[in-house]
Amino acid sequence: MAERTGPTLYTIPAHRAFADALVAGLLRRAGQDPLALARALILLPNNRAIRAVTDAFVRASGGGLVLPRMIALGDTGLGEAVGAALDPADDADPPLPAVPPYQRRMILARLVSEERRRGGHPIDAAEAVRLAGELAKTLDQLLVEEVAPTRLHEIELGPELTEHWQRALSTFDVVLQRWPGELARLGRIDAATRRAALLDRLVTRWRAAPPAGLVCAAGVTDSAPSVARALRCVADLPGGMVVFADLDLHLPDEEWDALGPHPRNPDTGLTRRSIETHPQFHLKLLLERMGVGRAEVTTWREGGGHDADTTRSRAIANALAPADFTGKWTRLGAEDRRLKGVTVAELATPAEEAQAIALALRGVLEEPGRTAALVTPDRALARRVAAHLGRWQILIDDSAGRPLSILPPGTLILALVEAAAQRFAPLALLALLKHPLVRSGDTRLGWLDGVRALDRALRGPRPAAGLDAVDVHLRAGTAKRWWPEAQALLTPIATVFERGAQPLGPLLATVRETAAALCGDELWAGPAGRAAAQCLADLEIEADAGPPLVDPSELAQLLRTLLDEVAVRPLQGAHPRLAIYGLLEARLQTADLMVLGGLNEGMWPGRPAPDPWLAPRIRAELGLPGLERQVGTSAHDFAQALGAPRAIVTRARRDAKSPALASRLWLRLQALAGDRFERAEALEAWTRDLDDPRAHRPSDRPAPSPIAALRPRLISVTEVDRLKADPYAFYARRVLGLMPLDPVDADPSAAWRGTAVHDILEQWWKHDACAIDALRPRAEAMLRDERTHPMMRALWQPRLLEAIDWIAGTIAAQAVDGRVVASAEGKGEIAIAGVTLRGRYDRVDRLPGGELAIIDYKTGKPPSATAVRAGYSLQLGLLGLIAERGGFADVAGKTGAFEYWSLGKKRDAFGYVESPVDPEGKRDKIPTAEFTATAAHNFTEVAGNWLTGSAAFTAKLVPEYAPYAEYDQLMRRDEWYGRE
């Protein structure tokens, strides 16, 4: 065998299954020696890659096999350990331990908060924690790229750098200067620094004493200098090799050289910008840092058995060529643009896209032994696909996991903190008490009965803030009897939150204890529960290192920021032939069918997250990766996933809010393939057909006709219009007994304001005997009441008081002429047309001639004369009819006036009187003397049709006088309204 003269470097093209091809080659190199693999060491990028290679060994072994040691080199962005083998226990001088992530985060948050306060731009604790997370990422990039923080002082800041960036840079610089002192005090170092130290020690050890067995670094794409040095060491070992994933050996030299990085021009001092968005850039950078050339890399000989056509890699490389070189597409032959085995599906909505992907995955299961995987950075799409597969009882693992903040334990913690911060406002309180983890188990049903009763009691405008105010608000009944149980559980956290700004530790302890009291051990069960327990425990331990005081109102956002960053991955146990991968998890994975989902701009590739600390020019000066380098790695992930034997690329034409733009990756494939851009037409058609009813059976307008015994014999004067204009709504309310519910925590509506005004005037009548000088104090007392909605005080108070003053002044002026208030807020009933007509008046005045004036208060505009002439809005006439027939206990007699007293605005003043009638019938109004007779005739006709007759209760019979929509859903209005 010829002696090696250089590093051993290989690449596995995109069209080959990386893990299977790697294992095939390693098994061939092991030969017949059964222990050769056992002595081998394989360095892989992450733990998911270790599993993929392990599975490939199992598939290829065909029997028993002693696996090699596999170690994840780790990535500081992944939170992966470097591996115990790289940090041996017998090391005489091990590196200092890494600072725990939460301790680091809280210390940085404190430093940021202190510097911002010193600079005159204070921030709250939640924002400090968020900025600390971004600062930690930027600091890690400096450490990984081995850029000394002192380089910041060597940069000349031009006048084009805005005040914002200068302030951010100043804060960042000060924090960097203070951070080493904090580490020294703790006796710790940064995780990135420790990883680099371990890798450099490994290089030193291996160069002095090379391992006896095979050492293979495979699929590593991290271009950090320390990783590059380690890979170069592995490549130089006698039994070492480095295997790259999809390093393009056929990319023309002109394009390869154009990628960068480029040297500084000595004449201009400027540096040509690198093409960091290209999928090969990070690999080229890695080769340069390893000190090797692309010509030294050879193609891995073995295939994986799950390989695509060899032309696939050529077509992918051409499609992803640098923008300046895409002009060659017009000269490419068919072989260089062929995407055989790749189809695309363009769907209308994200829901359709998810259904199409689920169908494609489901179809693979019909082929024995075949595998399929969805690769997408869109976690919402991944969740939808998993839900669609559930239709066929197919469980699928989403290896990227889900944020703890959207899982039950996380949502419970956030709901608890939100409720306490809002002092248990109705919506937040009910969201907490209804949470599925609260009182789960045998006591759940009884608990929900109490919560539902509380829900009913809290409908309408919110009560005053606080647990005690909720207790005062509740009337006798189930909710009142049940509430003390819930109040006792929530009182500890309410007490702590009322103390104002305080240390974070006691706040977290109270949250943990209250959450446990509400949910018991069920809260901490399962992967999500354990992650929540660990997160709170770690944060509570390190809380003292953070900002000294935290306002409880900031705690929800602080926790949401941290819980969003905790990914909870499912336990294995779903379908063995299907998987969902994020981009990170998909590296080195393969399947017979790979579905690449979510190919919209901003999703794949994603929009680079801005760096709030260093301006782009500063990052470039320091030599840090550009924010757009993530686009290049996403494109590389796309290229690798596209190398499967069969691939489907999908996108939706719109997202949840608006039309979406196709990804640049999608557009490049489309432009390259041209008319060979094969559509998955069958899949698109199946997706549409799955939920297509083919034919629509139009619904008929509802018109129930109950028997006479079920028809009401009692009706209020306010319900007559509803019965006449929308009989179905009356039927739903009075026959079915379905009463509409007010929203929870509702804003004060016109009806609510009207009720408030009526209450003021009723109390004025009952307790103040209509004393003019007592009316305004009544209104002011109502506004001061803590039960009054804040919006009433803030927005309606001036209008209300002006209108109240107008009422008092008008009554006083009328008293001079002999008109007096005879009664207020009374009720009565009469028998008419075979039914009982019941009514309640707002006020009845006695006119100078002895006749009665029926008055109704309105907070808005009174009914129009047109509506009255059409036979609607006859409420005042019916009240007059009851008065004339002796139906009211306090007042009786002939009616001589009917008036609406509106508190609305007219002629630049609040308050005016309007009448639906006229003594002489002018302006197309009903004559005053005929009003009660007209109302009686109208009511007799209505009662004869629907109450004592057999007419059907037809929905929206006269839509223009049926404006209310409480029962529109029940009558399925949109299915028939407007159709012949």
DSSP track, 493-541? HHHHHTT-SB-HHHHHHHHHHHHHHHHGGGGG-HHHHHHHHHHHHHHHH
Q: What confidence tens digit (pLDDT) does each residue in 72-105 have?
A: 886 543 334 444 555 565 566 777 888 999 999 9
Average the pLDDT over 670-674 and give the result. 86
In the block, which residue shows the tokens 């209008």? 799
Q: What gap in Å lies between CA 547 and CA 126, rounded to an integer? A: 10
Tens of pLDDT, residues 376-416: 999 999 999 999 999 899 999 888 888 999 999 999 999 99
Residue whose structure tokens are 């690198």: 274
| Residue found under tokens 């500081």 | 76
Q: Which residues of 635-659 are buried (b: 16+ CB within 10 A; e: fewer)?
A: bbbbbbbbbbbbbbbbbbbebeeee
In tens, the pLDDT along 685-719 reads 999 998 888 887 778 899 999 999 999 999 999 99
pLDDT digits (tens, 9 = 90+) for 311-344: 888 889 999 999 889 888 888 888 788 888 899 9
Give the Å distances, CA to CA, from 253 to 256, 293, 503, 620: 5, 12, 60, 25
The tokens for 449 are 């009965």
Which of the two residues, 172 and 22, has the higher pLDDT score?
22
Q: Given this model, what pLDDT does residue 808 score?
A: 85
| Nearby residues of 688 by Cβ (< 8 Å), 6 or more positions away | 352
pLDDT band at 789; cut points 50, 70, 90: low
Provide the sign of the torsion angle of the four alpha carbons 425, 426, 429, 435, taken in this order. negative
Alpha helices in 642-733 (DSSP H): 664-673, 681-690, 720-725, 727-730
Q: Give the span between the Cα atoms of 130 and 501, in whole angstroms.
A: 19
Residue corresponding to tokens 């002693």? 66
892 CB-near residues (< 8 Å, 6+ apart):
883, 884, 886
Q: What is the pLDDT of residues 478-508, one digit of tens each?
A: 899 999 999 999 999 999 999 999 999 999 9
Adjacency order of strands within the sheet including 372-375: 342-347, 646-652, 593-596, 372-375, 578-581
> In terms of Cα–Cα distance, which of 844, 857, 864 is closest to 902?
857
Mean pLDDT calculated for residue range 585-601: 91
Q: Regarding predicted confidence, which is higher, 588 or 162?
A: 588
138 close to 130: Cβ distance less than 8 angstroms: no
* Rounded-to-integer distance, Cα 477 and Cα 829, Å: 30
When pLDDT is averaged across residues 931-940 and rounded to a whole number, the result is 94
Question: Where would I find the beta strands (DSSP E) of 246-338?
Answer: 297-299
What average pLDDT does range 258-266 have in this prediction? 83
Render pLDDT for 521-574 as a digit per residue (tens, 0 to 9). 999 999 999 999 999 999 999 999 999 999 999 999 999 999 999 999 877 778
